Amino acid sequence: MPTLRINIVLFGIGNVGSTLINQVLQAQDFFLQQKNIELRFPIITNSTLAFFEKEGVKNQWEANFAQSAIPFRIEDIIEYVQDLDLDNLIAVDATASEDIIKNYIPLVQAGFHIVAANKKANTLHYDFYKELRSNLKRFDRKFLYETNVGAGLPVINTIKNLFDAGEEITQIRGVFSGTLSYLFNRFGEEDVPFATLLKEAEQLGYTEPDSREDLSGNDVARKLLILARELGSNAEFSAVKIESLFIPELATNLTLKEYRSQQRLFNKPFQIAKITQADNHVLRYVGNWNRSTDTLEVQLISVPRNSPLGQLKGADNLIEIYTESYGKQPIIIQGAGAGKAVTARGVLSDIIQIADTLVYKEQLLQDWVA
């Protein structure tokens, strides 16, 4: 069978998107030899501009984008691939934007599969969630998003496989934020003020540019909701009970500069929480979903130091999956839950999963014709 060309339209060339391109370029020979596929990027976009490349991505793609990118609409992209009669189409969303999500359904209807690092599509109103899946089924397209939870960790696939096999998943609990894992892992082991650790995390690039995004708990809540919906919950984001890590003095509309200048105010309440725990306990910021009540909670809790959550190090994520078959002993998935390299590799893994399916279908077609 001749080499199958997979045409990828990439939305977003920030940390994850640019790393993904470089990973693909480095592994092209491997994909050609081992899987008989060529991954091509005919279109690369940022939030406002698109670079249309007829001959595929070259190693100087950054310079080409800077010189030749033009304003675009989603209709331009659909028209472009149709005019060139491109097939085996995958749209990759490496943004954090809600704008691109509005175009998922038109892209599916135009023949695109979708791979998303962006969590927003799976946490919007449940009506949209259902409509998107209805269109995916109607047009026989795939939508993969393993990196929505745990970056490169196989969390979503594990849960889907268990659920599809008829397993009764009773509870999911874990540390879903690499940023907050780093903060509380160090806070539990070191005699250092919380604000000092927060500033260090900001300087290391572990937090969002505005660390209030991490401390709000919204990111953890989104990940928890995504997993609950995989298991049949129709909960809305508004139903998640979120214990924010803000304190009243910092919960106002401060500028970023004002907020950073007053981070010392975190020290006293977190130190009190630390010293008032039971012996040999540590603080962890945990998301928890209970199937029997369909309740979703995100909160700071105290756990035994020798428990799996209590033994976390670095910026690792740890997810506990409780099932009927395994009883009180959960399935534990642990590892790096953040970082551009692991996230990009997770996106690439989803791309290859779709590509493998396309290769299989092409082989079946050729065998049938023969």
Name the fold adopted by 155-336.
Dihydrodipicolinate Reductase; domain 2 (3.30.360)
**Strand ranges, E, within 188-294:** 241-242, 281-290
Count of Cβ atoms closer than 10 Å to residue 333 Cβ: 19
What is the pLDDT at residue 141? 98
Please tell me the class of the 4-151+341-369 domain.
alpha beta
What is the pLDDT at residue 63? 79
* The two structure tokens encoding residue 337: 């839950």
What is the pLDDT at residue 90? 98
Distance (Å, whole) CA 73 – CA 30 = 34
Report the mean per-residue pLDDT for the chain.
93
Domain boundaries defined on the chain: 4-151+341-369, 155-336
Share of the chain above pLDDT 70, in %: 98
66 pLDDT above the threshold of 90 = no
4-151+341-369 and 155-336: identical CATH topology: no
Amino acid making up residue 119: K
55 pLDDT above the threshold of 80 = no
What is the pLDDT at residue 265? 96
- Name the pLDDT band for 54 (thresholds 50, 70, 90): low
pLDDT digits (tens, 9 = 90+) for 9-25: 999 999 999 999 999 99
184, 315 contact by CB (below 8 A):
no
User: Distance between alpha carbon 77 and the CA centroid of its chain, in Å?
Assistant: 24
What is the pLDDT at residue 2? 81
Q: Which of 156, 144, 201 is nearest to 178 (CA)?
A: 201
What is the pLDDT at residue 62? 82
What is the pLDDT at residue 59? 55
322, 313 contact by CB (below 8 A):
no
Distance (Å, whole) CA 160 – CA 167 = 10
What is the pLDDT at residue 248? 85
What average pLDDT does range 277-292 have in this prediction? 97
Count of Cβ atoms closer than 10 Å to residue 155 Cβ: 27
Q: Against a cut of 0.85, is the pTM above it?
A: yes
Conformation bin of residue 217: beta by default, left when phi > 0, alpha when psi is -120 to 50: left
What is the pLDDT at residue 161? 95
12, 94 contact by CB (below 8 A):
yes
Report, as residue numbers or ranges, the catalytic residues: 223
362 pLDDT above the threshold of 90 = no
pLDDT digits (tens, 9 = 90+) for 230-256: 999 999 999 999 999 998 888 778 899
Distance (Å, whole) CA 232 – CA 167 = 13
pLDDT digits (tens, 9 = 90+) for 261-278: 999 999 999 999 999 999
What is the pLDDT at residue 146? 96
280 pLDDT above the threshold of 80 = yes
pLDDT digits (tens, 9 = 90+) for 172-209: 999 999 999 999 999 999 999 999 999 999 998 888 88
What is the pLDDT at residue 358? 94
* The two structure tokens encoding residue 259: 């907020």
Amino acid making up residue 290: N
